[in-house]
Amino acid sequence: MIEWIDYAEDIKSPPRNRALLAYCPDFCNVGYEVVVWNGSNFESDLHGEDIHNHVKKWCLIFEAD
């Protein structure tokens, strides 16, 4: 089961430079985007750091990593 982390409420920082799945319903039609945490912001290959303010929750894509 996927463990979603609420970005606004959780003080745990995402792992740096790892593929994450972000829940961002206000950003795109699908509501999800593959992102990485660069140490201070979420960013994606397609949208750069523009996605950061739209991320509501995130989770590890490969939990076994």
pLDDT, tens digit, 9 for 90 and up, residues 9-62: 767 789 999 999 999 999 989 999 999 999 999 999 989 999 999 999 999 987
Across the strands, what pairs with 41? none
Asked whether residue 31 is assigned to any structural domain, the reply reads yes
Asked whether residue 37 is assigned to any structural domain, the reply reads yes
* Dihedral of alpha carbons 2, 8, 11, 15, sign: positive
Asked whether residue 34 is assigned to any structural domain, the reply reads yes
* Confidence (pTM): 0.84
Number of domains in the chain: 1
| Full residue range of the structural domain in which residue 45 is found | 5-60
Asked whether residue 41 is assigned to any structural domain, the reply reads yes
Asked whether residue 18 is assigned to any structural domain, the reply reads yes
Asked whether residue 65 is assigned to any structural domain, the reply reads no
- pLDDT for residue 65 is more than 70: no
